[in-house]
A = this chain, B = another copy of it.
């Protein structure tokens, strides 16, 4: 059984043909993926199927979503060890020139001291600027 198929099963997601294709695509990317990206890459696959696949993947912690400020949701693979909990959070980078968005998986979000009685459960941290390709 293939790696990708196992990955889905480990996350309790039934490995259908469509899902295998989508997960395969994710593993080939170095940058975060939008629904549009998927639609184009996997044409003529149906938009709503892809949408629901993303939702399923997110719910089952195969991918996480990133709001990079463009108004278009992006998604990236979770790390193997990820439970999408506080300790797993990392910063993201959005390049304002090439408009790509990356996970900075080595940059973990630190513990942040919040005002009294506030409770942190999640975070969406996006740094904006120029990526190494565009910063010439």
Contact = CB atoms under 8 A, between A and B. Distances in A.
A26 interface: no
Interface in A64-116: 67-69, 71, 73, 91, 93, 96, 104, 106-107, 112-116
Contacts of A128: 120-124
A41 interface: no
Interface in A1-17: none
A118 B135 contact: yes
List the 7 shortest-distance A-B pairs measured between CB atoms, nearest first: A117-B132, A121-B129, A122-B128, A119-B130, A120-B129, A119-B129, A67-B69
22 contacts: A67-B124, A67-B126, A68-B124, A69-B124, A71-B71, A71-B73, A104-B115, A107-B112, A107-B114, A114-B127, A118-B130, A118-B132, A118-B135, A119-B135, A120-B127, A120-B129, A121-B130, A122-B129, A123-B126, A123-B128, A124-B125, A125-B125
